Structure 1
Amino acid sequence: MSATIAYVRVSTEDQSTNTQRATIEERHKVDHWFVDEATSGAIKAKDRKGLGGLLNFVRDGDTVIVYAIDRLGRNTVDVLETVETLNAKGVAVVSLREGFDMSTPMGKAMLTMLSAMAELERSNIKERQLAGINRAKAEGKALGREKIINDEDVAHWRQENSASIKATAEQFDISTASVKRACRTHKGNTKIL
């Protein structure tokens, strides 16, 4: 007997799959859910725990429902490989946001176009982001988070207490990388372990 299977994914921990789930549940009675949370789309589909499980689970005649095509991957090749893998198993793929069944010839054509457009948009976003960073640098603006520690204090405390990098990080509630950077900055004043 065929099953309706839903797949939802979010890229970061501060995002939720609730909207995707609610939209899918409004239109379909789902038999099985597969979820990837805080999983970057940069990770190939088959390497994601949830989607990998889905690929192993599906059978001929099943239908996979996704909220949007970009939930299946972040580039044209990954999305198309995933859909082709599912289609080869006799599984239909339906994307709600785009409104088509990707197992049909029209659906496949739309999938190819939408995936290409999404990849182009991501490239454009990266270009705009890089241009913004370069402009900010040219204007002399400080980039990154504001520094919250005094390197000299960290290096001095570590030396005075003969502390390890880890102990120093815990003392100042900072990362070990920040401790190492502080000690490098003030290496004339402290030992480096």
Structure 2
Amino acid sequence: MSETISYLRVSTDDQSTDTQRATIESRYNIDKWFVDEATSGTIKAKDREGLSTLMNYARSGDTVIVYAIDRLGRNTVDVLETVETLEAGGVAVVSIREGFDLSTPMGKAMLTMLAAMAELERSNIKSRQMSGIERAKAEGRNLGREKLIDDDLVVRWRQDQSASIKDTAEFFGISTASVKRACRASKASQ
């Protein structure tokens, strides 16, 4: 017996799948839900627990409903491979936001175009971001968060106390990575 199953994904802890679920439930009776929370779309489908489980669960005749095609992934190749794997197993894929059934020839053509456009847009955003960073550097502006620890103080305290990296981190309320960076910076400036 075929099932209607759904896949939900959000990228960060502060996001919720509630909107995706409500939209899908308003149009379909879902037999089984698969979810990945705080999971970037840049992570390959096979490496996402929820989507990987869905791929193993889905059977010929099933239909997978997604809120939007970018829930399957952000990389064109990965999205297409995921859809093709499902379709090769006789599973239809429907994307609500884009409004198409990816098992039809028109749906496949639309998927390819939309995925390519999304990838192009991400590339353009990255390019604009890099241009902004280069401009800020050229203007002499500091980038990133303001440094909150004094590397020399951390290194001196650690040496004076003969403390471990972990103990130093706990004393200053910083990460062990910050202590290691302070030690490297101190060695580099000598």
Whether TM-score is above 0.5 comes out as yes
Aligned to 2:58: 58
How has the CA–CA distance of structure 1 residues 188 and 69 changed in structure 2, closer, same or farther, with 3 Å as cutoff? closer
* 1:6/1:65 contact within 8 Å kept: yes
How has the CA–CA distance of structure 1 residues 46 and 149 changed in structure 2, closer, same or farther, with 3 Å as cutoff? same
How has the CA–CA distance of structure 1 residues 63 and 141 changed in structure 2, closer, same or farther, with 3 Å as cutoff? same
The one-character-per-residue Cα deviations of 1:94-128 (angstroms, maximum 9, x if unpaired) are: 00100010001111111111011011111111101
How has the CA–CA distance of structure 1 residues 157 and 27 changed in structure 2, closer, same or farther, with 3 Å as cutoff? same
Q: How does 1:100-139 map to 2 (within 5 A)?
A: 100-139=100-139
Number of residue pairs aligned between Structure 1 and Structure 2: 190
Is 2:136 aligned against 1:142?
Answer: no
Please say which of residues 35-44 and 104-113 is displaced more in the overlay: 35-44
Structure 2 distance, partners of 1:90, 1:140, is 57
Structure 1 distance, partners of 2:181, 2:89, is 52
Structure 2 distance, partners of 1:111, 1:9, is 18
Question: What secondary structure does 2:26 align onto?
Answer: helix
Q: How does 1:1-193 map to 2 (within 5 A)?
A: 1-187=1-187
Question: What secondary structure does 1:16 align onto?
Answer: coil
Pairwise CA distance, 1:189: 11
Pairwise CA distance, 1:188: 9.4
Question: What secondary structure does 1:109 align onto?
Answer: helix
**Which 5+ residue runs of structure 1 have no aligned equivalent?**
none
Pairwise CA distance, 1:136: 0.8
**Which 5+ residue runs of structure 2 have no aligned equivalent?**
none
The one-character-per-residue Cα deviations of 1:56-112 (angstroms, maximum 9, x if unpaired) are: 000111110001001111111111111111111111100010001000111111111
Pairwise CA distance, 1:14: 2.0
Structure 2 distance, partners of 1:13, 1:105, is 36
* 1:76/1:119 contact within 8 Å kept: yes
Pairwise CA distance, 1:187: 4.0
- Give me the identity figure in percent: 76
* 1:156/1:189 contact within 8 Å kept: no
